[in-house]
Amino acid sequence: MVFGTILTGDQQVPADSGSSASGTIALGFDETGALTYDLTVVGLDFGAYIGEGVPQTEDTADDVTGINFGNAPIGEVGDLAFGVVGVDGNGDDDLIFTANPDGSTTISGIWEESDLANIPLSTFVPGLNSAAATTSETGSPQISDLYVSIGTVGNPEGEIRGQIASISPEISESISAIDPVTLNGLINQGATVI
């Protein structure tokens, strides 16, 4: 089973950031039980993390300062679970940043139980497995309390956010090719909050 979502400014809490940036993320458990992820973002500057650290845009407000997984239902501010970048004491040592020809950036990584995190990965595994089982049986996405948020210089508390949902195999096979508007519609079509 694959999990995923879109990230947008209107999902940010406590208030819509007004950002035109967006992203998609696909996640799945590997054979070791680690959570692998591929996050592709358009409209934010990841220059500090790519190559020589040269900004991708002149505007410093869109410079990414942090990427993290949080723990809260839709519409609520949550506790930091795992800081991918920009969080003291946390960090994904398997991180790869890729600047794509279309101007987007893909961040690939692995959240392992052994990674230093404020909330261990094992806390989320039962809920994600349950969501995956329900989606397999019903075909209906299940929305979890796990979310991804990206902070910037202009919006340090979060520029864009997306709530992680279990996704049926038909959607998961081509998640990276689905535009955010279509993916959001597929997730919200009959989605159940878990």
pLDDT at 171: 54
pLDDT at 64: 95
Q: Using CA of residue 159, residue 163, residue 169, residue 171, what is the dihedral sign?
A: negative
pLDDT at 189: 44
- Boundaries of every domain in the chain: 2-193
The pair of three-digit structure tokens given for residue 98, joined into one six-digit string: 């890729």
* 14 preceded by a cis bond (ω within 30 of 0): yes
Specify the higher pLDDT residue, 82 or 185: 82
Separation CA 137–CA 56 (nearest Å): 44
Q: Given a cut of 60, is residue 151 above it in pLDDT? A: yes
Q: Given a cut of 80, is residue 113 above it in pLDDT? A: yes
pLDDT in tens, 18-76: 899 999 999 988 778 899 999 999 999 999 998 788 888 999 999 999 999 999 999 99
pLDDT at 98: 93
Write out the H or E segment, with its range, that includes residue 82: strand 79-85
pLDDT in tens, 80-107: 999 998 766 567 778 999 999 999 999 9
**Please, which pLDDT band fits residue 168 given cuts at 50, 70 and 90?**
low
Separation CA 161–CA 113 (nearest Å): 23
pLDDT at 176: 45
pLDDT at 186: 44
Separation CA 74–CA 5 (nearest Å): 12
Separation CA 98–CA 119 (nearest Å): 27
pLDDT at 53: 84
Q: Given a cut of 70, is residue 17 above it in pLDDT? A: yes
pTM: 0.85
Q: Using CA of residue 177, residue 9, residue 120, residue 86, what is the dihedral sign?
A: positive
- Mean pLDDT for all residues in the chain: 83
pLDDT at 128: 87
